[in-house]
Amino acid sequence: MTVRPKKQLGQHFLADENILGVIGRLAELAPGDRVLEIGPGLGVLTAYLADRVAHVDAVELDGSLEAPLRERLAPRTNVDLHFGDALTLDLAALGPGKLVSNLPYNVATPVIVESLDGLPTVELWCVMVQREVADRLFAAPSTKAYGAVSVLVRLATEKTGFHPVSREVFRPRPNVDSALVAFRRSDLPDRYREVKRVVEASFAHRRKTLPNSLQLAGVATRARAEEALAELGRRPSARAEELEPAEFVALAEALR
């Protein structure tokens, strides 16, 4: 059966199995692991994982891939396939300990961000993403790549591995570079949902000052935001990209 990747779903199927060993190493796979994979495609990574861990839950949005996936994975009884949108399914109920995926381009960032608190049992991530996304995950303040996702990922995790990935390992060959990024959970800040709201509001209008951005997002008045920034020792003209991740926790506390 010939399966054509769907551009609208951000599909780029893994075709070169040589990269699997790198994934296995960065994911620190162990026989007792329960792994969540989002976007299994044709099941190349799924089969590799299933041969090395206790259980794999693979979530695929594209129903046309069900037949080839079931055919490829038929001998492996430790794989459960779930068809639907990973952003709306109750994946927390599956209790995964690791998220290991070649993430579809168009959902990579929201999947990572929502998994930080939405999948509390996940202790380690190993994800293949566009190089641009990979660079954003642990970007430093005052850089072009630094944004809300950088802050949230750095507050919740610590990077444990990074590996550039050639365009040649995918079919079709993408027009962008990719990378594998691995990171391990650290403790979420207290009242994380409040912190997340402040972070996302802060970067929602990144050309504006933080007080203006927070006011436009409905999180705080400009005057209240200026007072909160003063408590942090920051000027009222500060912009979101200037603050360290930990300062957003302090900002959320000051705005409470």
Task: Tell me the two tokens of residue 50.
Answer: 């299933």
d(CA 163, CA 19): 10
79-109: pLDDT as tens digits: 999 999 999 999 999 999 999 999 988 899 9
154-169: pLDDT as tens digits: 999 999 999 999 887 7
**What per-residue confidence (pLDDT) applies to 156?**
98
Give the CA distances from residue 14 to residues 28, 172, 211, in Å, rounded to whole numbers and listed in that order: 20, 9, 44
Residues 210, 239 contacting (CB under 8 angstroms): yes
Task: Tell me the two tokens of residue 51.
Answer: 């041969």
- Binning pLDDT at 50, 70 and 90, where does residue 152 land? very high
Give the CA distances from residue 191 to residues 38, 115, 148, in Å, rounded to whole numbers and listed in that order: 28, 16, 17
47-69: pLDDT as tens digits: 999 999 999 999 999 999 999 99
Give the CA distances from residue 103 to residues 16, 36, 189, 247, in Å, rounded to whole numbers and listed in that order: 16, 11, 26, 30
The closest alpha carbon to 83, from 101, 97, 103, 69, belongs to 69
The closest alpha carbon to 149, from 177, 174, 173, 127, belongs to 127
d(CA 68, CA 50): 16
Give the pLDDT mean for 225-251: 98
